[in-house]
Structure 1
Amino acid sequence: MSNIQLDVKNLSVSFSTQAGKVHAVRDVSFSLHKGETLAIVGESGSGKTVTCRTLMRLLSKNASIDAGEILLEGTDILKVSERNMRHIRGNDIAMVFQDPMTSLDPTMKIGRQIEEVITLHRKVKRKEARKRMLELLQLVGIEDPRRRSRQYPHEFSGGQRQRIVISIVLACNPKVLIADEPTTALDVTMQAQIIDLLKSLQKKINTSIIFITHDLGVVANVADRVAVMYAGKIIEIGRADEIFYDPRHPYTWGLLNSMPTLDTSAPSLYTIPGAPPNLLKPPTGDAFAPRNEYALAVDELYEPPMFQISDTHYAATWLLDARAPKVNPPAVLNKRREEFIKRSGLYAES
C-alpha cells in the first residue's frame, strides 16, 4: 500500500486580469506522505497560497487550472463535482487560514460554529455534536470549554481564536491539514504555542500537514520536508536537514542568509537584491537569474531542470550541472545557519 497521502503532478494555475494572464503556479509537483509535515516556503507572491488553495478548490472566479492532477489517495479531486468536493473539504482535507477572524462568524457563538461543522459533515444529532464540540475545545487548549463555548470571537485573544479555528478544522479528523501562515499575525509566544499545538495534534490524530510560511524559523521546528518556491515553481525540495545543512539553490542560500539571528554585530539584515519577475510574462530561462550573483550565461536562455542530489533532495539550478563551475555557498551563511540551527533544535541525522 502506498504511503503517499497527496500527490500533486504538474499543476499550473493562472489568473485572468485586465493586464493579461498571470501564471501564478507553473508546473508544480510534490507529494505528501502519511503523517508527515511538508513546509512550503518562499517570498510573498511565490505561489505558495495559490497552490494550496487549489488543493482545496477555493480559487477566485478569474482563476484557471491549466494543467495537472491532484491525487488524494489516488482520486483526482480536480475531476470530482463541486457537490462531492464539498464533502471532501472538511472530511478529507481542511485548511487553517492566516487570519482567524476571516474564518469565524463574529455574530455567532463559537460553540455553535463548531457544532454547525460537525452536524453538516457528520450528520449527527445536536446533543452529540455539542459533546464533540466541547471535546475539541479542550483538545486545542481552551480552558473551561463549556463557559467559553457561549462566547463570541471578539471575546478571545488572537492565539485563542486561532485555536478555535483549528478545532473547527479538526472537527471531522481530516487526512490532510493545510496551515496557511497560521502564526503570522501572532506574537512570538503565541506562535510557539500554536506550532506546538499542531505538532501535538498531528501525533494524536495522525494527520498529514502542509505548512505554508515565509519564516524559516517555523520550518526548522515543524517540518519533516521543505519545498522552496520561487516565481510559481518549486526550485528546491528535500528533507529539512538537507535544506538547512546542504542547500543547493542560490535562492535558498538567500533565504537562509536573511534569517535574523542573535548576532547583532552585522549593521543590517541581509536581503536578496531585486524583486521577483512579473508572471504576466514568465522569463524564458531561470526566473531567479536577474537576482542571482552566481548566474551563468545559460540561465538567460534555458530553464534549469530538477537535478537530483540525493534520493530525497532535488534543486533546479544550472550550478548543479556537471559542466558548471564550482560555486560554494556564501561563507557567512555557514555561521548564520549553524547558530540558527542550534537555537531552533534542528540537528542533522547521524
Structure 2
Amino acid sequence: MDKVLEVKDLHVSFDTYGGIVKAVRGVNFDLKKGETLAIVGESGSGKSVTSKALMRLIPNPPGRISKGEILFDGRDLTKLSEKEMQKVRGKEIAMIFQDPMTSLNPTMKIGSQIMESLIKHQNLSKSAARERALELLRLVGIPQPEVRINQYPHQFSGGMRQRVVVAVALSCNPKVLIADEPTTALDVTIQAQILELMKDLQNKIDTSIIFITHDLGVVANVADRVAVMYGGQIVETGTVDEIFYDPRHPYTWGLLASMPSLDTSVQTELAAIPGTPPDLMHPPKGDAFAPRSAYALEIDFEHEPPMFQISDTHFAKTWLLHENAPAVEPPKAVVDRRRSMSANFAKPRLVEEAVR
C-alpha cells in the first residue's frame, strides 16, 4: 500500500518564560493510502501538537518545528514557505477540530463557508460552488440543504455543526484528513453518527485519516492502525487487534485497564494510572513513563528504550521487551480482555461498545 505521508524524527518545541518545552520528541510514523491511523494518549501527550505540526499551524513564536521531516507527495512540508503551505491546507490536507463552533465563522452563512474553499482551491464559479456545497450538505446528512445553506452556525445543533465542518474539510477531496478529537464536544449518540459518517465518507472519496483521540472506545470502531503517545513520543504502534489484544507497553496496559467494558462475563475494576505526565521542560532521562509504572526496571531510569519490533506491524518502546528483561504479566484487565477475545470473540462486542 502506498504511503501518502511520512513523519521522520519530528521535534516541536515552545519557548516560554520558564524555558523550552519539548512538546514532541522524535515522533516517527507513516500513513498509507485509504487507511485510518489513530493517535491516542492522555492530555499533554503531544497528540494535538503533532497534528498541528503536520499542517504547519504551530504559532511561531512561541512554537517551532525544531527538527524532523514531514514528507507529503515527495515534498518536505517543513521546508515550504507559508504561501506554499496555504495551497496545501484545505486542498490536499484538511483538518477537523474539536469544537465546531470555534471552527465556523458565526457571522457567515454556512453556504459561504463551504463555498470559500471551493472557489479558492478548485477555481469554481459562485454558482458551481453553491451546487457543490449543496451536494456536500446532502452527503454529510444535513436535511433540507436548500434551506440550511442560507443559515448561520448558531441555527444548527452541535452535531449538525460538526457535519458542516466535515463538509468544509472534505470540500476539495483532500488526500489526508486530520480529525483532532472531532467528537469530544458531542454526546455519545451524535458521536456515533459522526464516526459512522466519517467511515462512510472515507470509503466514498478514498481519503486517508489521522484520528486524534484520548478515547480508546472510539479507536476500536474507526482505526486500522494505532499509535500510542506519551511524553511527546510514540511508545507503541500496531494494528487495532495488536494494540487491544496484545499490548506490550505498560502505558498501553494502563490505558486499556482504565477503559470500561460492557462484557458482563468479565468482572474488573477500573484502574487509574498513578502520578502525572512528565514535565517536558525537563524531560526525564530514561523511559518517560518509568516514574508512573509498576513495571519499571532500573535501566528505565537511566537509558531511554529503543523501539523493539514484535511483528511486521507491531513495535513498542519498552525495556520489558529486551531479551534479558524479566517476564511480567500485564494487569488483570488486559489479560481478561485477551481471554475474552479468545473465548467469546469479543472484538464485535468491543466495536459495539464504541458506537454506543
- Give the TM-score category using the shorter length: over 0.9
Of 341, 344, 347, the match for 1:341? 347
2:320 is equivalent to residue 319 of structure 1: yes
Q: Quote how far apart the aligned CAs of 1:336 are.
A: 4.6
User: Matches of 1:76 and 1:332 in 2, distance apart?
Assistant: 42
Q: Which residue of structure 2 aligns with residue 298 of structure 1?
A: 299
Q: Which string of whole-angstrom CA distances, capped at 9 and with x for unpartnered residues, describes residues 163-204 of structure 1?
A: 000000111000000000001111111010000000000000
Q: Which string of whole-angstrom CA distances, capped at 9 and with x for unpartnered residues, describes residues 47-106 of structure 1?
A: 000001000000122001111000002210111111110000011101000000111011
Q: Which residue of structure 2 aligns with residue 74 of structure 1?
A: 74
Matched residue of 1:91: which SS?
A: coil
Q: Which residue of structure 2 aligns with residue 310 of structure 1?
A: 311
User: Matches of 1:332 and 1:121 in 2, distance apart?
Assistant: 49
Range with bigger deviation, 327-336 or 296-305: 327-336
User: Matches of 2:179 and 2:286 in 1, distance apart?
Assistant: 32
Matched residue of 1:248: which SS?
A: coil
Q: Which residue of structure 2 aligns with residue 227 of structure 1?
A: 227
Q: Which residue of structure 1 aligns with residue 281 of structure 2?
A: 280
User: Matches of 2:149 and 2:92 in 1, distance apart?
Assistant: 25
User: Matches of 2:292 and 2:118 in 1, distance apart?
Assistant: 49
2:45 is equivalent to residue 46 of structure 1: yes
Query: Partner letter of residue 21 of structure 2?
Result: V
Q: Which string of whole-angstrom CA distances, capped at 9 and with x for unpartnered residues, describes residues 110-139 of structure 1?
A: 011111111111111101000000000000
Runs of 4+ in structure 1 off by over 4 angstroms are 263-268
Confirm or deny: 8 A CA contact 2:110 2:164 kept in the other structure.
Answer: yes
Q: Which residue of structure 2 aligns with residue 236 of structure 1?
A: 236
User: Matches of 1:101 and 1:120 in 2, distance apart?
Assistant: 22
Confirm or deny: 8 A CA contact 2:3 2:33 kept in the other structure.
Answer: yes
Confirm or deny: 8 A CA contact 1:23 1:232 kept in the other structure.
Answer: yes
User: Matches of 2:141 and 2:325 in 1, distance apart?
Assistant: 53
2:23 is equivalent to residue 24 of structure 1: yes
Confirm or deny: 8 A CA contact 1:257 1:336 kept in the other structure.
Answer: no
Q: Which residue of structure 2 aligns with residue 55 of structure 1?
A: 54
Please show how residues 51-200 of structure 1 align to structure 2 within 5 Å: 51-61=50-60, 62-200=62-200
Gaps of 5+ in 2: none
2:222 is equivalent to residue 216 of structure 1: no
Query: Partner letter of residue 165 of structure 1?
Result: V
Gaps of 5+ in 1: none
User: Matches of 1:324 and 1:334 in 2, distance apart?
Assistant: 20
Q: Quote how far apart the aligned CAs of 1:345 are.
A: 3.2
Identity of aligned residues (%): 63
Q: Quote how far apart the aligned CAs of 1:260 are.
A: 1.4
Query: Partner letter of residue 284 of structure 1?
Result: K
Range with bigger deviation, 95-104 or 116-125: 116-125
Confirm or deny: 8 A CA contact 2:27 2:233 kept in the other structure.
Answer: yes
Query: Partner letter of residue 50 of structure 2?
Result: T
Confirm or deny: 8 A CA contact 2:71 2:77 kept in the other structure.
Answer: yes
Q: Quote how far apart the aligned CAs of 1:262 are.
A: 2.7
Question: What TM-score do the two structures reach when normalised by structure 2?
Answer: 0.94
User: Matches of 2:163 and 2:336 in 1, distance apart?
Assistant: 36
Q: Which string of whole-angstrom CA distances, capped at 9 and with x for unpartnered residues, describes residues 281-335 of structure 1?
A: 0001000000000100000100000000000100000000000000121123232
Q: Quote how far apart the aligned CAs of 1:341 are.
A: 3.4
Matched residue of 2:211: which SS?
A: strand
User: Matches of 1:244 and 1:263 in 2, distance apart?
Assistant: 15
Q: Which string of whole-angstrom CA distances, capped at 9 and with x for unpartnered residues, describes residues 198-224 of structure 1?
A: 000000000000000000000000000
Confirm or deny: 8 A CA contact 2:268 2:333 kept in the other structure.
Answer: no
Confirm or deny: 8 A CA contact 1:91 1:173 kept in the other structure.
Answer: yes
Q: Which residue of structure 2 aligns with residue 250 of structure 1?
A: 250
User: Matches of 2:71 and 2:54 in 1, distance apart?
Assistant: 9
2:259 is equivalent to residue 259 of structure 1: yes
Q: Quote how far apart the aligned CAs of 1:26 are.
A: 0.2
The number of equivalent residue pairs is: 345
Q: Quote how far apart the aligned CAs of 1:245 are.
A: 1.1
User: Matches of 1:247 and 1:178 in 2, distance apart?
Assistant: 25
Confirm or deny: 8 A CA contact 1:248 1:315 kept in the other structure.
Answer: yes
Q: Quote how far apart the aligned CAs of 1:24 are.
A: 0.1
